Amino acid sequence: MRVRLLGLMALALAGFVSDSLAGEHTTPSLKVRDSGSGESVVVHEGTASYYADHFDGQLTASGQRFRSNKLTGASRKLPLGAHAVVTNLENGRSVEILINDRGPFIPGRIVDLSKQAAKRLDMIESGISQVRIEVKPSRQPDRKVRARLETMVTQVAEATQQ
């Protein structure tokens, strides 16, 4: 058991080192852009991965049970309850997801997707993909999430002007 645990730790560390050497150790920052209709959109670009099957049924940070067949995702930066459009930059495919968990906790990754969302983006075989996440405050069904995103837009816009 101890040898197996040490082996798993070594593999995890090796993955971290290779990600770091590939330049994935920095977390990309959020940006704001105009949607073309005058609305500001929160944009986040970086690497996406998807949840392993053994997480199915576990509780997420939102209190919902994770279901691999739903269109959901985990983000460290976007508010829980936000609806976001994720586009695979390698093939142009898009999917709308609900942010219902926190993560990913691997350096350089910006979103962990459910398996169903990953299938829609055609990234199951590769396991990871470069993506763009776009979140429009006006497209949020919840007033609290919309207000948090509007505040985020203001903060990101101010930070980029400095």
What residues does each domain of the chain span? 28-161
The mean per-residue pLDDT over the stretch 1-15 comes to 37
Q: Evaluate if residue 22 carries a pLDDT over 70.
A: no
The span from the CA of 154 to the CA of 133, in Å, is 18
pLDDT band at residue 96 under the 50/70/90 scheme: very high
The mean per-residue pLDDT over the stretch 91-114 comes to 96
pTM of the model: 0.81
Q: From its phi and psi, is residue 24 left (phi > 0), alpha (psi between -120 and 50) or beta?
A: alpha
The mean per-residue pLDDT over the stretch 42-71 comes to 95
Between vectors from CA 72 to CA 49 and to CA 35, what angle results, nearest 5°?
A: 90
pLDDT at 160: 81
Q: Evaluate if residue 59 carries a pLDDT over 90.
A: yes
CATH for 28-161, options being 3.90.550.10, 1.20.58.340, 2.40.40.10, 3.30.420.10: 2.40.40.10
pLDDT at 28: 52
Q: Evaluate if residue 157 carries a pLDDT over 50.
A: yes
Q: Evaluate if residue 146 carries a pLDDT over 90.
A: yes
Give the pairing of strands 94-101 and 72-74.
parallel
pLDDT at 152: 93
| Cβ-contact 88, 121 below 8 angstroms | yes
- The pLDDT > 70 percentage for the chain reads 83
